[in-house]
Each structure stands twice: as C-alpha cells, then as structure tokens.
C-alpha cells in the first residue's frame, strides 16, 4: 500500500486558498490576505519554538499566538481577522479529513468596537470635486473620476478597474464587478455623466495617444490607474480644496452613503448600491446620518 504523502505547510496553504477560491469566487486581494495571515502564523510558530506542520497545531498554539498579537498592541479587529482566517483553515482541513479536530473550535473572537466612519459634509465634498484644474486633460480625467466615485459610491478598486464596455452614458449606469465577483448595476448622476463625457471626448484620446487600453480611466502610461496612485490624487485635491479632515477614497464612499440616507434614501437601496452582502454592514451609515442630524438640530433649533 503506497504511503500517504506528507504535505508541507506551503502545500496546505495553497490547497486551502485554491479551495476557498473555487467555493466563494473570492477576489485576488482577499485571497492574498488569507495567504498572508497564514504565512505570518507559520513564521510565528517557527520563531517561537513551535515549528510543526499546520496539521499538528493545537488550541494552545493558537491561544499563545493571539496573546502575542495582543501584547504587541494589535487592534481587536486585527486579532479577530487572524482568528477568522485560522477558523476558516481548520474548518476546511476538518472537512477534508486532514485533521481529527478543529483547534479553533472553542476560541472566541475578541469583541470589536463599532467604528463610526468619518464622513464629509456636502460643502467639503463640493470643494474636493471642484479642486482639479479642468483646463487640463488630466484635470478633466481627475474630475470625472471624483464625480463617479462620489456619485456612485464605488470602492476604489472598482473605480480604477472599470472597462469601457461597463459604462453606458446614455442610460446613465455603470456595471461593476465587486467583491466575490458579484456584479451590480449602479446609476450615476448627471454631473458624473457630463464629466465622463467630457473626459471621453477631450482627455482620454490625448492621454492614450497611440496607445490602446480597454480601461475607462487611463494614465499617460496607456494603462489603468493603480489604487495607490488614485489615493495620492485624492490627497492632493484635499489639500488644494483646503479641507482639513483626513480623507481617503473610502471617505467619499462613506459620504455617498451618508448623504443618501440624510436625504431620505431607503437603507436597502443603499445596501444594493454599495454592494454589501448583509444590510447590517450598511447600518453603520445610519449612525453617521443620525449624528449629523443631531448636530444640525443642536446648532439650529432654539431648544436643541
């Protein structure tokens, strides 16, 4: 009878990542996050005299790992993510028959405090949107990108990966492939449509030159913009606009959701537009909206 091959830790991690990719259709960034967490755990085992196969890990190993992470001032959210990755791994290994018991089974995830996202008031958003110099080809492109981001609530990864065939200006919609390869169709407002139209007519042909790209928003390298490059653009225009708050691309996504709710949008509609799988994720924005309404009441009502 042939011997059962002993898998290395790298092979175990590869098999796990392949399995969850097939099961859930996870995005590359999500898979990379799972892999990175498991590599960090494996390195921690080696560095702490616990060099062993992932198949031999015990509950005590994991508790020691989490305690070490806590002692290094890791945030509860980070510790919870690390534990969640390990739980997912050992559920998979248990199902495959590679381990006899799940060492994470009775380990509770740390409580995560609800962080209410910082949002921008509408005046600050207007200042940021108007910051690009629209007398330049790049300025028109940047204004179009900002308008689409705020006007549709896209994730920055979704914005920079929009293809030419995903936007329909006559219908005023964008077809987006989001997390887990889930597709949704999002309306964009009149300002965004106008600026994208100007960008397509005036700027994009100049920026591309003789280059070819099917990405909607391109750079002078004839390719799509990276998330980091767009983050730097946001930082630049926040400075130009004189907005003193810390702003990222995600802040404009927060503003999109909060302003919709402030103006009476239904929570379920906002959930669909944001691409949240669970409405509980969207509910955080109701707290932002309530805080904004409370501050307005206190400021303007005679008995506020």
Q: How confident is the model at residue 297 (pLDDT cuts 50, 70, 90)?
A: very low
Asked whether the whole model's pTM tops 0.95, one would answer no
**pLDDT for residue 237:** 93
Residue for token digits 């597709």? 183
Domain 9-96 CATH assignment equals 3.30.360: no
Can you give the pLDDT at residue 261?
67
Are residues 66 and 79 in contact, defined by beta-carbon separation less than 8 angstroms? yes
pLDDT class for 293, splitting at 50, 70, 90? very low
Active-site positions read 155, 179, 250, 253, 276, 285
Q: Please state, as a whole number, how many other Cβ atoms lie within 10 Å of the Cβ of residue 234.
A: 22
* Helix (H/G/I), strand (E/B), else coil: 276: coil
**Angle formed at CA 228 by CA 208 and CA 81, multiple of 5 degrees:** 140
pLDDT above 80 (res 55) = yes
Q: At what angle do helices 9-24 and 28-47 cross, to 10 degrees?
A: 160
Q: How confident is the model at residue 280 (pLDDT cuts 50, 70, 90)?
A: low
In this structure, which topology does domain 122-300 adopt according to CATH?
hpI Integrase; Chain A (1.10.443)
Span 243-279, pLDDT tens digits:
888 887 777 777 777 767 666 766 665 666 665 555 4
Domain with CATH 1.10.443.10 in the chain: 122-300
Whether the CA torsion 141, 142, 143, 148 is positive or negative: it is: positive
Q: How confident is the model at residue 1, as a pLDDT?
A: 36
- H helix intervals, the chain: 9-24, 28-47, 59-71, 76-96, 122-129, 137-152, 156-160, 190-198, 204-208, 227-241, 249-262, 267-274, 279-282, 284-300
- In the chain, CATH 1.10.150 sits at 9-96
Q: Is the pLDDT of residue 142 over 50?
A: yes
Are 180 and 125 within 8 A, CB to CB?
Answer: no
Q: What is the pLDDT of residues 266-276, one digit of tens each?
A: 666 566 666 55
pLDDT, one tens digit per residue, over 169-227 is: 988 888 887 666 677 788 888 898 999 999 999 999 999 988 889 999 999 888 888 88
């Amino acid at each position: 009878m042939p011997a059962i091959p002993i898998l290395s830790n790298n092979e175990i991690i590869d098999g796990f990542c392949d399995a969850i990719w097939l099961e859930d259709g996870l995005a590359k960034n999500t898979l990379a996050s799972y892999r990175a967490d498991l590599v960090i755990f494996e390195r921690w085992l080696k560095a702490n005299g616990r060099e062993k196969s992932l198949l031999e890990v015990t509950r005590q190993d994991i508790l020691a790992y989490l305690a070490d992470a806590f002692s290094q001032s890791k945030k509860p959210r980070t510790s919870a993510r690390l534990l969640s990755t390990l739980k997912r791994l050992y559920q998979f290994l248990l199902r495959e028959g590679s381990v006899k018991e799940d060492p994470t089974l009775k380990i509770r995830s740390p409580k995560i405090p609800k962080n209410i996202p910082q949002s921008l008031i509408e005046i600050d958003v207007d200042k940021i949107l108007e910051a690009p110099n629209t007398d330049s080809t790049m300025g028109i492109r940047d204004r179009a990108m900002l308008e689409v981001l705020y006007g549709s609530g896209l994730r920055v990864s979704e914005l920079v990966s929009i293809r030419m065939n995903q936007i329909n200006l006559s219908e005023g919609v964008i077809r987006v492939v989001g997390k887990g390869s889930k597709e949704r169709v999002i309306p964009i407002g009149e300002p965004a449509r106008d600026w994208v139209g100007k960008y397509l007519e005036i700027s994009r042909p100049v920026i591309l030159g003789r280059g070819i790209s099917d990405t909607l928003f391109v750079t002078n390298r004839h390719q799509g913009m990276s998330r980091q490059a767009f983050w730097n653009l946001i930082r630049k225009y926040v400075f130009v606009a004189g907005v003193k708050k810390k702003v990222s691309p995600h802040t404009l996504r927060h503003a999109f959701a909060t302003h919709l709710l402030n103006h009476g949008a239904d929570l379920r509609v906002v959930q669909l537009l944001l691409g949240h799988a669970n409405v509980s994720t969207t509910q955080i924005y109701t707290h932002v909206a309530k805080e904004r309404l409370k501050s307005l009441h206190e400021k303007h009502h005679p008995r506020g």
